Structure 1
Amino acid sequence: MTVETYNPNTIIPVSFTPKAVKHLASQVEKKKAKGIEFNIKESGCSGFKYLLELAFDPAEDALVYQLNEQLNLFISPKVMPLIKGTQVDYIQEGVNFRLEFTNPNATAHCGCGESFSVEQ
């Protein structure tokens, strides 16, 4: 009989499509950042806005997840309940691109897609 150890800090709480990982990894490499910080802030008509920013000096309490060999993801524990289960995709249409967030915790979105709300 074998025993497996479960460590919740090793399971990535959000997912990224391969296109999103490739795009973000290239940005991190170009700017020589430590990775990407996934955060939210109060904003917009629905309450919260997603922030994916280059992490040059990530918060000390940030949880660190390795998305691939080149890309680390930093997430603050306080935003985890709001983003857990979110999928991030990279969408390119012609010369335009955007990151698209699909969050199972969101109860509403604003019309322009910039912000979301959750029941707390």
Structure 2
Amino acid sequence: MELNEPTERIFNLDERLVRFAGESIFFVRKLAKAYELEYYKNQLIRSSGSASLNYGESQGTITDKDYVFKLSLVVKELKESRNSLRVLNYIKEGEENERNWLLLEVEELIAITSRMMLNKLK
């Protein structure tokens, strides 16, 4: 990645979600200004940011049920981000290394958050 070089490992999920949302914005800023891309660009910004915001809200929940619900929203938004990135990857839009980093990161974030939900449900 060009702007922030997110090569260091972050072990705090909140920080990783913030970084993912930020790197998604940096990625989108560099994409072509084509009509057909606007939908995916906007969706990626909204869903990546929403994942981070919903995780923040999950930290203030009182019950395990509310916590799991908020985490389920995080997973939903991350999956929407993944789908937008997959479309952009399919049409080879944007810098390949950045796309690959975002796709790998979103898969890891989905896995981590899903595991957190499953652990809380046990």
TM range (shorter): under 0.3
Q: Which has the higher helix share?
A: 2
Q: TM-score with structure 2 length normalisation? A: 0.22
Q: Which has the higher strand share?
A: 1
Q: TM-score with structure 1 length normalisation? A: 0.22
